[in-house]
Structure 1
Amino acid sequence: METLDIAIEDARWESLDIETLAVDAVTATLNVLGLDSATAEISLLACDDRRIAALNADFRDKAKPTNVLSWPSEERAATRPGADPQPAEPGPDGMIELGDIAIAYDTCAAEAGAAGKEMAHHVTHLIVHGTLHLLGYDHETEPDAALMEGLERKILGKMGLDDPYRED
């Protein structure tokens, strides 16, 4: 991965090796979509619930914590539900600026525990999810959700991880 700028605001992330999880998740996502990870630029903020709640309030008018947030560098949404988004194009320097992701330790840990999942697997899924958002995928409509979840399953499967949407 050429440029994955990671800011760790909550030291608990270091014990999980968030750097390796993030590089692996972003690289796998870009590879499945046929993009060269050496040309991608993403910033990741590994924070806590208090910080992500403030971000969620500022950017989404939802004053509560969430697991992951993403801010694409440009609008890439599909022109119709269930269609692929607009392709990410490199800039003059050959790099593709994708955007920013924030992920909250407290919410991720609570979700992983409640679902009986390994924290590292859940976090990997959420970073894949956030990266797909940066690439223009969303889950606002049923066709869009089906497309995005299908990609998540494919990417995580290639990484040797279980289907995150399977109900046990």
Structure 2
Amino acid sequence: MTAEPTVHLSLAVGLLRRGLPQRTSFARWVAAAVAAARRRRATELSIRLVGVDEGRLLNVQYRGRDYATNVLSFPADLPPGLRLPLIGDLVICAPVVAREAAEQGKTARDHYAHLTVHGVLHLLGYDHEADADAERMEALETRVLAGLGVADPYRD
């Protein structure tokens, strides 16, 4: 039996902590996504939890969209040949997560788990631009989340 690769997570909080999951929860969700993607080496990333103003500013600056979105993924842009464990950064907008969870009838914790797994998979190269890629990514997310006790987020 092989050991799971080490995951190093930095968590930064740019708003009041009340109601936010603990670092241990984010670390568990990240590790589950990394394992499901079959990454075999050490992994390092950061997650920053932000409010609406910072979320909107980052979405405008990096995606040209003038609203706060739930999660932004910033894959590491390493020079060719440099093999560091860094995969990138995630920014999660806490008020958007809370609003979406309420609208979708799920717990905020489950929605944080989903968005964390979704974002980590983006950092590992998964996307959902083409239908086949979206189906593959959603199936992997669903499997990871089921293992964490979270219901299928794509179920109607």
Same-fold call, TM cutoff 0.5: yes
3-state DSSP class of the match of 2:146? helix
Unpaired segments of 5 or more residues in structure 2? 1-5
Give the superposition deviation at 1:16: 2.6
Of residues 70, 79, 98, the one that matches 1:67 is 70
Q: How many residues align?
A: 149
Q: Does the 8 A contact of 2:7 with 2:31 survive in 1?
A: no
Equivalent residue number for residue 8 of structure 2: 3
Q: Secondary structure at the match of 2:87?
A: strand
Structure 1 unaligned regions, length at least 5: 76-88
Deviation at 1:155, TM superposition (A): 0.5
- Counterparts in 2 of 1:36 and 1:11: CA distance versus 1, 3 Å: farther
Secondary structure at the residue paired with 1:5?
strand
Identical-residue share of aligned pairs (%) = 36
Q: Kindly tell me: are residues 105 and 55 of structure 1, through their superposed partners in 2, closer, same or farther at Cα, counting changes over 3 Å?
A: same
Which residue does 1:54 correspond to in 2? 57
Structure 1 consecutive aligned stretches of length 4 or more whose deviation exceeds 4 Å: none
Q: CA deviation at 1:67?
A: 0.2
- Report deviation, 1:104: 0.4
Please say if 1:110 is aligned against 2:113: no
Kept in 1, the 8 Å contact 2:37–2:121? The answer is: no
Asked whether 1:138 is paired with 2:124, we answer: no
Q: What is the TM-score normalised by the length of structure 2?
A: 0.88
Letter of the 1:66 counterpart: T
Aligned AA (1:34): R
Decide whether the 8 Å contact of 1:90 with 1:96 is kept in 2: no
Distance 1:127 1:90 in 2: 26
- Please, what TM-score do these two structures have when normalized by structure 1? 0.82
